[in-house]
Chains A and B, each alone.
Chain A
Amino acid sequence: MKVIAVVAALVLALLFQTTLAGISFRGGTLVNFVLIAVVYVALSFGAVTGLLAGAAGGLVQDAIAGGVVGIGGLSKTIVGFFVGVVGAHFIVSQPATRFVMFVGGTVVHELCFQSLYNLLEGRAPHFAWGTLFTQAAVNGLIGILAFQIVEGAPGLMQRRETRRATFGRRRF
């Protein structure tokens, strides 16, 4: 069940990433759905699952996006591992702490990703901090929303079923 959930999350994220690739904020800040999925998986299932999901999702994303395959995987593996480790040691069930985890994961991912690319291309590292934090905030918000949807969906369905049953027994 866990594997199915993880694979589903990654596939969904990749679908979103490819189909909604044109969505950007502040002129170029792309939402990284795969990264959101990795953080989500790491928070939900732990470090091992997080790092494996990061590796798999990152590699597929790299392969789809073109360029050097492995840089995104490497960055997302790191994020998945450390988010999983932190999630196992701290209570991260509140939206605020989850938001912090998403923001932190995004920052770490971008730092690793950009650093590796700069390293391979032999350039001095340069970070657009404003864009980075905007992306991190957007990822955090989408991540919290994802958590709310996934965690709230079963209750919502149950309440709807209950309401239907109640309406059926009423006599007007």
Chain B
Amino acid sequence: MLDIRKRTGWIFLIVMVAQVLLVSAQVQTRSGVPVVEAVSFGAFAKVQGVTSSAVRGVRDVWSNYAELQGARDENQSLKQRLAELEIRLQEQRALAARTTRLQELLTLQQTTELPTVAADVIGGNPNAIAGIREITISRGTADGVQPGMAVMAPRGIVGRVIGQPASRASRVQLLIDRDAAAGALTERSRVGGMAVGMDRDPPVGMELVANLQDIKPGDLVVTSGVDGIFPKGYAIGWVETAQRGPGLYLNISVRPAVDFNSLEEVLVILVPPRPALSEAEIKAGPEGRK
């Protein structure tokens, strides 16, 4: 049997609450609403607010979770898309660079009066063996290429065809090869000499220039045409240093105009080499050579 004396606290609480409700039912707030109604409405509104907040929180968490999952998938997809676009961008950049180079080559081909044929560099590493610098191009005898023909790039001379070309390929000795040479002169002072490949940096030197000649760093060195291979007036490079040598000649280093490390397309001048001019022919000039 329930002993109410052991429930003293509860009974006290129940009686108190009952009387508070009784009092509240009789008292009105300033707005005229009974206190019990206002309190119960307020309490209910608070409970409703808490419930609503809890439901909203759970819904937000769930929706965030779902969105996070979607974001992860989207992130993966976007990463993949980004990688594809980066590859495509690189392709486009390469294409644009190639287009630019071909444009320059075409411009060179159009400006020169000599017959030429464009060729791709298909092999060879200029730095493979120190001092021996050759490349292979995609033109050969089928295209009219013959041994000794000059090879150009838009920025200057590259070298000459060596050996017997195949029908669709040829070997080209670069100007920076230690055995390569070309007749040269400075554009400003018209001082003649010989541009040769060297095992140093810069990899081209200019020899046979007397100590008394007027050579300054920055002078443009161009082909002189006396070697019978390279047509006259094409750029070789710029004088980097010009120092008095131990003998009669200056020590001149030339920075090549062509970047031999990034050669991709070249132009072969389809003019067979002629014998080099003799000392007398050089001195006689064009009139004497006729």
Taking Cβ atoms with an 8 Å cutoff, the residues of A that contact B are 46-48, 51-52, 55, 59, 68-71, 73-74, 77-78, 81, 85, 116, 120, 122
Instruction: Count chain A CB atoms within 10 A of each CB in B15, B22, B26 and give the residue with the most.
Output: B15
> Smallest distance from the beta carbon of A52 to chain B beta carbons, Å?
7
Which residues on A sit within 8 Å (CB–CB) of B290?
A: none
Chain B interfacial positions (CB closer than 8 Å to A): 4-5, 8, 11-12, 15-16, 19-20, 22-23, 26-27, 30
Give the nearest-CB partner of A74 in chain B. Answer: B19
User: Within 8 Å CB of B19, what residues of A?
Assistant: 55, 59, 70, 73-74, 77
The 10 closest A-B pairs by CB, nearest first: A70-B23, A70-B22, A74-B19, A70-B19, A81-B12, A55-B15, A73-B19, A47-B8, A68-B26, A120-B27
| Residue of A with least CB distance to B16 | A77
Q: Give the secondary structure class of B's interface.
A: helix
In the bound complex, do residue A120 and residue B23 qualify as a contact, i.e. CB atoms below 8 Å apart? yes
Q: Are B15 and A77 in contact (CB under 8 A)?
A: yes
| Shortest distance from the beta carbon of A41 to any chain B beta carbon, whole Å | 14
- In-complex Cβ contact of B20 among A48, A69, A70 (8 A): A70
Question: What distance in Å separates the Cβ of A131 from its nearest Cβ neighbour in chain B?
Answer: 24
**Shortest beta-carbon distance, B248 to chain A, in Å?**
120
11 A–B contact pairs at CB < 8 A?
A47-B12, A51-B15, A59-B19, A68-B26, A70-B19, A70-B20, A74-B16, A77-B16, A77-B19, A116-B23, A120-B23
* Complex Cα gap A122–B30 (Å): 10
Residues of B within 8 A of A52 (CB): 11, 15
Residues of A within 8 Å of B26, CB to CB, are 68-70
